[in-house]
Amino acid sequence: MKLSDGFDARRLRPRGPGNWRWRLAAALSALLASFGVLLAMAGAATLLGRPPALGPLNDSTGAAIVLFLFGLLFLWIGVLAWRLCRRWSRRRSGLSMSPHLMKKRD
């Protein structure tokens, strides 16, 4: 199919305002997930018999279990928020195309 000289595909889907808010939220949620990984690793290190990584904060086994569970919770919440932010930042406004015609990116 031959395109005419005056055709501009960028006019079909006008660019809206930038999505810097969603990028910032995705970065903060990635930081939360990485903090969760670090907490879980510190709790697991204490549970496996290594010296406490956080000093007197996780000396006992109970404190190490709580630290490990909070780390997993922060990891789960961070990954969930990161996925949600990416989904909202990729949402397009403009042409309404059928979802099965779009490329699968997520």
How confident is the model over 32-83, as pLDDT tens digits? 999 999 999 988 888 888 766 667 776 788 888 999 999 999 999 999 999 9
Say whether pTM exceeds 0.95: no
40 within domain boundaries:
yes
Query: For the CA atoms of 83, 88, 89, 90, what is the dihedral angle to 10 degrees?
Result: 90
Number of folded domains in the chain? 1
**Structural domain containing residue 63:** 21-89
How confident is the model over 19-34, as pLDDT tens digits? 788 889 999 999 999 9
Quick one: which of 41, 62, 71 has its CA closest to 53?
41
10 within domain boundaries:
no
101 vs 63: CA distance, rounded Å: 51
